[in-house]
Amino acid sequence: MTNEPELLNETDAADALGVMPRTLRAWRYAESTVTGPAWVKLGRAVRYRRDDINNWIEENRRND
């Protein structure tokens, strides 16, 4: 067993969040207060760590 983080491609990350891949792209390039989970650039590939997605979900949880 390794300690390597699980990396998801844009499509898999979008599926995990229930959004379209184009929404993730918009969040990455947005200069507004709307931001998505942290992402990693590996060469030309964009990847999302599963832990970052889960943390982002928790940070944005509301009890309204």
Q: In this structure, is residue 46 part of a structural domain?
A: yes
Using a cut of 0.75, tell me whether the model's pTM lies above it.
yes
pLDDT given for residue 7 in this prediction: 96
Q: In this structure, is residue 2 part of a structural domain?
A: no
Number of domains in the chain: 1
pLDDT given for residue 33 in this prediction: 63
Domain that holds residue 46: 7-59
The residue with greater pLDDT, 32 or 13, is 13
pLDDT given for residue 64 in this prediction: 79
pLDDT given for residue 30 in this prediction: 82
Strand partners, 49: 7
Check pLDDT > 70 for residue 32: no
Q: In this structure, is residue 45 part of a structural domain?
A: yes
Check pLDDT > 90 for residue 35: no
Q: In this structure, is residue 14 part of a structural domain?
A: yes
Q: From CA 29, how far away is CA 17, in angstroms rounded?
A: 18
Q: In this structure, is residue 64 part of a structural domain?
A: no
